[in-house]
Amino acid sequence: MTFALDIILSILLVVGGLFGLTGSYGLIRLKDRMQRLHAPTKASTVGLGTALLASMFHGLMIGTGFSWQEVLVMIFIFVTAPITANYLSKVHLQSRHYDGQTPATGVSRDWATFDQQPEDPEPRLPSRDS
Amino acid sequence: MITYALAFALVCFGLGLILNLWRLVIGPTVADRVLALDTMVVNVIAIIVLYGIQTGLGINFEAAMLFAMTGFVGTVAFCKYLLRGSVIE
């Protein structure tokens, strides 16, 4: 049992380290601003996920039982990574919009980020007369 | 065997941290620097978790959670500032 756990933990750690290194290397290697979003938001997140899995299984190995706290970190990271990527791609689109280099959408309307928001009506105090 | 795997993973994430620092220095736009900082946060969380495995202490989970939260909030606030000119409208 301990030997099997040892094997599983080692595989998880090596795979996680390789994924994390791939994500950080892609941040350097990729040319375009939009391409650069892919590597850290996907590969690094998977690398961190496998490291957290290894940490969870390590509790079984040292005898303190399966540690559930890492699940919280994992859920948090897996939920927030796409939100971060979405915001950063919006920033890229906006800066390209100002430079006039926005890629074509292929349909008649523009990117949804640049849609005109309906103006909020000015908040008014209730008038005394009515 | 887990000792060697742990050392390998720590070296990998440390190298990734150096590569992120390189992108942080040369990044052509501000958004690239924000992305590099976000990736640095992810790598630091991984290093904290691996250090927790190495020492066998259970308190590293709180530090990892704290790093995840502050990293996410910081990145979103930076992006919001770049997009709209203010963090809270």
Domains and their CATH numbers in chain B: 2-84 (1.10.287)
Higher pLDDT, B66 or A63: B66
Is residue A50 one of the residues assigned to a domain?
yes
Task: Indicate the number of domains in chain A.
Answer: 1
Report, as an integer, the average pLDDT of B62-73. 91
Q: Is A105 within the bounds of a domain?
A: no
Query: Is the predicted ipTM greater than 0.90, yes or no?
Result: no
With left for phi above 0 and alpha for psi between -120 and 50, is residue A11 left, alpha or beta?
Answer: alpha
Which tens digit of pLDDT belongs to each residue from B27-61? 788 889 999 999 999 999 999 999 988 887 767 88
pLDDT of residue B76: 93
Percent of chain A residues topping a pLDDT of 90: 35
* Residue A118 in domain: no
Integer CA distances (angstroms), A23 to A74, B25, B43, B68, in order = 17, 17, 10, 17
Q: What pLDDT score does A66 carry?
A: 79
Identify all chain B residues contacting A33, using CB atoms and an 8 Å cutoff.
28-29, 31-32
pLDDT value, residue A40 = 84
The length of chain A in residues reads: 130
State the smallest CA–CA distance between residue B88 and chain A in angstroms.
15
Cβ separation A9–B38 shorter than 8 A: no
Decide if A40 and B53 are in contact by the 8 Å CB cutoff: no
Q: Is A46 buried (19+), middle (13-18) or exposed (0-12) by CB count in 10 A?
A: middle
B48 and A CB contact within 8 Å: no
What's CA B54's distance to the chain center, in Å?
19
Task: With respect to residue A116, please indicate whether it lies within any of the assigned structural domains.
Answer: no
- The pLDDT assigned to B15 comes to 94
Distance from CA of A117 to the nearest CA of B (A): 13
Stretches where chain A sits below pLDDT 50 are none
Calculate the average pLDDT of chain B.
89
Closest CA to B41 of A75, A11, A41: A41
Phi then psi dihedrals of residue B83, to 5 deg: -80, -45
B6 touches chain A (CB under 8 A): yes
Q: Are B63 and B48 in contact (CB under 8 A)?
A: yes
Which domain does A40 fall in, by range?
Answer: 2-100
Q: pLDDT value at position B8?
A: 93
A21 to chain B, closest Cα gap in Å: 5
